[in-house]
């Protein structure tokens, strides 16, 4: 049973523009801190007077209990969060849900595949893996975006290149883009994939995750070593409202991170 945590006040200590409609903000406890989060878990963030929304952590600041979240302004609550400035206060509840199983990835080559803002929940994984290279095999990070302007963490992605194989592609290039063009699965052909000793962590639009996971399994990865992050219609974070039910799974409780072996058939069901 998911433990319900009351929202605690967190103060915005810093913000950073990622794209024209996406911003990262760092939160520090204004008093008592929540329990530690794991990469892949999410918080319920309360924009006072507007509402609440589930947002995965995009970085962990262990030194002071701080958390980083990355938000794209697409609705009333996310737009209110996008407009936060240093000194503002929000309510935070959590940690909720399942995180990326990094213990299962130990000793394996790790493939991180992200589409769009799906890189946000995977960013703490990359941080953890580059900080502990001896615990894992080779690290490859594949990133896809609609346009070059939609790429988040661009400078940070460049900084990973010395410690990981990094490949980036866009669907619609501009005149100044000289990189790969196409969907993110086309980047798989660039890798020396060793399926017998690899695992994959995938996050992005469902259609992208479905095709990526299917392609990886076709290349020999066992389905249980492909993890995906599903966030269909999460609303209450406690498994009570049923909005995020996907057959036997309540994604806010049993996910958002689940093995592809558990959801391969379920991903064929159109989202309501």
**Domain edge (last residue) among 38, 73, 96:** 96
* Structural contact between residues 66 and 27, judged by C-beta atoms closer than 8 angstroms: yes
Quick one: pLDDT band at residue 3, thresholds 50, 70, 90?
A: low
How confident is the model at residue 159, as a pLDDT? Answer: 92
Residue scoring higher pLDDT (22 or 63)? 22
Residues of the chain with pLDDT > 70, as a percent, come to 93
Asked whether residue 30 falls in the same domain as residue 81, the answer is: yes
CA distance readout (Å), 250 to 65, 147, 239: 28, 33, 6
Summarize the confidence of residues 120-131 as an average pLDDT: 94
**Domain edge (last residue) among 43, 76, 96:** 96
pLDDT tens by residue, 135-151: 899 999 999 999 999 99
Mean pLDDT over each residue of the chain, to the nearest integer = 91
Q: Decide if 156 is inside a domain.
A: yes
> DSSP strand E in the chain: where?
8-19, 22-29, 42-47, 51-61, 66-72, 89-96, 109-115, 139-145, 165-170, 180-181, 198-203, 226-229, 245-246, 249-250, 257-259
* Structural contact between residues 101 and 257, judged by C-beta atoms closer than 8 angstroms: yes
Given a cut of 60, whether residue 1 has pLDDT beyond it is no
Q: Decide if 2 is inside a domain.
A: no
How confident is the model at residue 202, as a pLDDT? Answer: 98
How confident is the model at residue 6, as a pLDDT? Answer: 73
Given a cut of 60, whether residue 272 has pLDDT beyond it is no
Asked whether residue 164 falls in the same domain as residue 246, the answer is: yes
Asked whether residue 108 falls in the same domain as residue 79, the answer is: no
Query: What's this model's pTM, rounded to 2 decimal places?
Result: 0.92
How confident is the model at residue 5, as a pLDDT? Answer: 65
Asked whether residue 25 falls in the same domain as residue 121, the answer is: no
Asked whether residue 184 falls in the same domain as residue 128, the answer is: yes
Asked whether residue 43 falls in the same domain as residue 150, the answer is: no
- Count structural domains, the chain: 2
User: What is the Cα–Cα distance from 127 to 129, expressed in whole angstroms?
Assistant: 6
Domain of 34, in residue numbers: 8-96
Q: Decide if 3 is inside a domain.
A: no
Q: Decide if 43 is inside a domain.
A: yes
Residue 120, H or E segment = helix 119-131
Given a cut of 80, whether residue 63 has pLDDT beyond it is no
DSSP character at residue 173: -
Residue scoring higher pLDDT (266 or 29)? 29
**Domain edge (last residue) among 78, 96, 114:** 96
């Amino acid at each position: 049973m998911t433990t319900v945590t009351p929202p605690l006040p967190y103060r915005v200590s810093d913000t950073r523009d990622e794209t024209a409609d996406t911003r990262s903000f760092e939160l520090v406890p204004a008093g008592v801190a929540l329990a530690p989060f794991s990469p892949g878990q999410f918080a319920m963030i309360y924009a006072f007077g507007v509402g609440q929304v589930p947002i995965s952590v995009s970085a962990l600041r262990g030194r002071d209990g701080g958390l980083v979240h990355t938000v794209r302004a697409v609705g009333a609550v996310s737009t209110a969060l996008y407009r936060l400035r240093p000194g503002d206060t929000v309510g935070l509840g959590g940690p909720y849900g399942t995180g990326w199983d990094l213990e299962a990835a130990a000793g394996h080559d790790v493939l991180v595949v992200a589409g769009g803002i799906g890189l946000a929940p995977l960013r703490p994984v990359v941080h953890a893996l580059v900080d502990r290279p001896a615990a894992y095999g080779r690290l490859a990070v594949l990133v896809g975006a609609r346009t070059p302007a939609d790429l988040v963490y661009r400078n940070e992605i460049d900084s990973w290149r010395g410690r990981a194989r990094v490949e980036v592609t866009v669907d619609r290039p501009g005149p100044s883009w000289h990189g790969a063009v196409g969907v993110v699965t086309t980047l798989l052909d660039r890798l020396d994939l060793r399926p017998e000793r690899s695992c994959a962590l995938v996050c992005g639009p469902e259609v992208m995750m479905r095709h990526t996971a299917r392609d990886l399994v076709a290349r020999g990865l066992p389905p249980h070593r492909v993890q995906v992050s599903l966030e269909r219609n999460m609303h209450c974070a406690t498994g009570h409202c049923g909005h995020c039910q996907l057959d036997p799974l309540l994604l806010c409780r049993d996910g958002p991170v689940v093995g592809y072996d558990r959801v391969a058939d379920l991903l064929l069901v159109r989202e309501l």
